[in-house]
Amino acid sequence: MSDVRRKVTRDQIVDCARSWLGVIWRHQGRNRSGVDCGGLVACVGQGIGVFPVEADAFGYDRLPTLNLMVRTMSGWMRKKTGPEFDDRRLGDVVVMKPTNAYKWPSHLGILSRLPSGELGMIHSYNAVGTQFGVEKDGVIETHYAGWWDNTVALFEYPGLIREE
128-157 confidence digits (pLDDT tens)? 544 555 556 899 999 998 787 889 999 999
Contact 148, 94 (CB under 8 A): no
Based on the number of CB atoms within 10 Å of its own CB, is 110 exposed (0-12), middle (13-18) or buried (19 or more)? buried
On average, the pLDDT of the chain sits at 85
pLDDT digit string, tens, across residues 54-71: 656 666 777 666 677 788
pLDDT of 130 = 45
> In angstroms, rounded to a whole number, what is the distance separating the alpha carbons of residues 43 and 28?
11
Domain ranges of the chain: 10-156
Q: What is the mean pLDDT of residues 26-55?
A: 87
**Largest interatomic CA distance in the chain:** 42
Superfamily of 10-156 according to CATH = endopeptidase domain like (from Nostoc punctiforme) (3.90.1720.10)
pLDDT of 105 = 86
Task: Give, for 141, the enclosing helix (H) or strand (E).
Answer: strand 138-143
Task: Give, for 49, the enclosing helix (H) or strand (E).
Answer: none
> Which has more confidence, 50 or 147?
50
> Which has more confidence, 54 or 29?
29
What DSSP state is assigned to residue 117?
S
